Structure 1
């Protein structure tokens, strides 16, 4: 069994991110710890007046090949891997003049940041660290004797233990640091392998690794008896993972899931063309609308299903302004997410201290490629993000009557929303707003009936004499396998339909649409969302 305490007499420091480096190294030096370092780290420490041995002095070899080779040497790895209680290891160290290294401090070349910045292939390759991961893995393996630090956030923990234990660190800390070290190298390698898979257009690599960095531990998951944590991945996509939380309680697991769904939905609407608002409940839109202002869009979205909107998530495609903020806070809302917000809007929301306000500093690009992952028992599914956008689709009129310009605008709007509704999805829309949504049903006809019922209910809530479905258009995320779902929409008063097409009974469905006087267009693209 490894001993509980290990004294630190020599530390090797080699970091790309030098945040907090100098104060940490000064504290080590004050405790009599010998410092060894490389390249830029060595220069920073010497510049701060510290006495530091350069790694080339330790190895007897200069850094070479543009710094690609500097720490890959027995003098380094022997000092990290030697088991201190093993006489043969000790004899080998003595015979070859290898000093022990008790503390390794390494953070890696900024590969993820280089890729996120859109740099070229060669520059990304040059930012793949080799010596760093090799040293980290060696030190982590030998955590019985060596402490390894890969995150500046752990500097204080190391210094605290050195102070508490007369220059030694505990086995408990060494184990925790080793676990973190292996997770960091695994995440790093995952980012590299996934980037290379994208570069060679390999959609199904033989091995797929997924990694992330803890954003925060959560009180619980979907339900109180489930533990949960939120991780940020390597993709720099504006959204809930990268947003700044201005105020409000800690986000819950369900908040994060629903807020992501809301922001991805509202991002379908170009803010340069129109203001748009999406209200989400349980990851499904309960109201989406566009308008001349955010206030107009919010009021139209809320009209679709004000009951479900209570306790929901509100996403906006433009910076939150005071007018919209005043209206949104009139009912209980869990989260507001927007690209930005005015000072006045922030002050208005601040009156609701539990309401979370997230500012994402931009919108996710609905056309951007990406990877979507879902776990299953014993494995996981990985697929490309659904980045098909209706504006890019060649719509085909299949009925005798084509849609009017007004109907066509609403058809495109409805299909944008249907992309973000759980299957089977039916969306009624009119005048740039949803008026009825049927989501997640086992049959498409049931979704059609629920959406029509929602439209009738919305009319009753606003005191209108007839259903909001009358004169609306309908979007279906997938084809109608039978005419019954389409006929349900016609009975509710819909005038036009947009759907992917591709059913064996397309001819039957088209005939039914013609007999009902509906205009119908096919997109050729399905938007299943499970």
Structure 2
């Protein structure tokens, strides 16, 4: 596609960031500007010459501005092929001037929904004329430059400066692609909202609208390509939208592990440290102060912690930061990082440090999307949180207060361990974690054996993410020194497992809720 000089531009934007500077740049190239409503007002107040769209079309804006650019004079000027004789004749016959650039960003529908506004306000923030103009300009990108994001203003002006007031075909093609992605995401957000308003949990059609944050060096392995996107409208505090304060570029595995760590640490109200390796926790502890939780978390499995990811649920302070710098870590994630802690962490220049700006609520609803060959699996977030009324003591011996506290701690951790999951805990800290085994018995053995070199599992409690199908898994935990167990229950052999617990003299609690994690 050839370079296309810009003689006339239509500007109609909701987000006026950078608008005046951009319009001044267009005026520098003698571009005539058409505009509407608030955009025209802002430009006029800045001393920029503007022709109102209503003056250009000879038709006033009506219906509270719902109808203003939906006019043949506008769309004909955008859609006309400049090298088509029939199109040129139609323009001459009907008095249509070509429009070479369309600068439009859309009504803030997603932001309106996020603010909690009512139904009518959300409806009024569904843009109609904007998407129509964007799609028309993008379709005719051989002749028309479409600009949908203030972040694109600079590159457009640079191209015009370098090409005598024209844009290149390459730039117009890129902007057209961005434009269609933007209108697709916009329509997707509206569709999702309408489905929610109508109580439709799983609509017939669904799109996953996301925006690229960055291209990653590679995926799980160097031969795989990868990028990170954040989902439009999803404001959950977490790794995807975190600010990287320092360190090397984040990898696919860094991000995956950091997300696992941060989601787990959000389960706890007390100051808590989580250490994750390969998406599984290898140490978790809570204490009165963050710095006091570090050592017991590390003690659970210091070998696996080397090169791991650490997440905390309090602003990271200097004393805790000093402890973290004693071990080689890949990533540290915190809701905030104090200036003093940042100064400490600078000693580890390659250490990636992320600040999320807050903590997510583990009880929040939401969806998780996973791809399979030829399709998507979509499910609700595992936001199950136990209430006291959910707990059922099924053994002759009831757990002590201390055992119950540790069982609930272990249960929160088990929710984030890959199935089959077994977690031993004592004193608000994990002392053994068995993850991702095909047999629950093997998970129980591995968790105990990994702990044996450190503090051992004697006097601990045990949590299982799903029921014990046989008594053997429970008895493995008892043999490791567990004095109480928490599990969902629901096996056809529950009575057999309960009897084994009673015979061993341990306490056991059923939750009625499982936490498979695959």
> Shorter-chain TM-score category?
over 0.9
Q: Residue 302 of structure 1 corresponds to which residue in structure 2?
A: 298
The structure-2 alpha-carbon separation of the partners of 1:86 and 1:282, relative to structure 1 and needing over 3 Å to count, comes to same
- The answer for the alignment partner of 1:159 in structure 2 is 157
Match of 2:133 in 1: 135
User: In the alignment, what sits opposite 1:260?
Assistant: 259
1:528 equivalent to 2:516? Answer yes
- 1:400 touches 1:519 (CA, 8 Å); kept in 2? yes
1:501-512, aligned counterparts within 5 Å?
501-512=489-500
Aligned mate of 2:468, from 480, 496, 501: 480
- In structure 2, the residue matched to 1:30 is 28
Among candidates 170, 173, 177, match of residue 171 of structure 2: 173
How many angstroms apart in 2 are the aligned matches of 1:388 and 1:67?
46
**Mapped contact 1:513–1:519 kept (Cα < 8 A):** yes
SS of equivalent to 1:381: strand
User: Secondary structure at 2:479's aligned position in 1?
Assistant: helix
CA distance in 2, matches of 1:192, 1:288: 41
| Count of aligned residue pairs for this structure pair | 517
- Is it true that 1:368 corresponds to 2:364 in the alignment? yes
Q: CA deviation at 1:294?
A: 0.7
- Determine which of 77, 90, 93 is the counterpart of 1:92: 90
Unaligned runs of at least 5 residues, structure 1: 460-466
Partner of 1:462: none
Q: State the Cα distance separating 1:227 from its structure 2 match.
A: 1.3
Matches within 5 A, 1:62-77: 62-77=60-75
Partner Cα separation in structure 2 for residue 135 and residue 398 of structure 1:
66
Of 308-317 and 60-69, more deviation after overlay is shown by: 60-69
Corresponding residue for residue 57 of structure 2: 59
Q: Which string of whole-angstrom CA distances, capped at 9 and with x for unpartnered residues, describes residues 179-208 of structure 1?
A: 111111111122222223333332211011
Query: What is the deviation of 1:58?
Result: 2.2
Deviations 1:57-92 (A, max 9, x none): 222222222222211222221111112222222222
Per the alignment, residue 464 of structure 1 pairs with none
Shift of 1:118: 2.7
SS at match of 2:453: helix
Q: For residues 381 and 31 of structure 2, what CA distance do their matches in structure 1 show?
A: 50
CA RMSD of aligned residues (A): 1.3
Tell me, in whole angstroms, the C-alpha distance in 2 between the residues paired with 1:275 and 1:125.
43
Q: Which runs of 4+ in 1 moved over 3 A?
A: none
2:502 to 503, 514, 518: 514
Q: Secondary structure at the match of 2:70?
A: coil
Counterpart secondary structure, 1:98: coil
Instruction: Check whether the contact 1:390–1:415 (CA below 8 A) recurs between aligned residues.
Output: no
1:393, CA displacement in angstroms? 5.7
Map 1:489-500 onto structure 2 (within 5 A).
Answer: 489-500=477-488
- Do 1:390 and 1:416's aligned partners in 2 also have CA atoms closer than 8 Å? no
Question: Which residue number in structure 2 is paired with residue 235 of structure 1?
Answer: 234
Select the residue among 31, 39, 42 that pairs with 1:41. 39
Could you tell me how far apart the structure 2 residues matched to 1:501 and 1:299 are?
33
TM-score, scaled relative to structure 2: 0.97
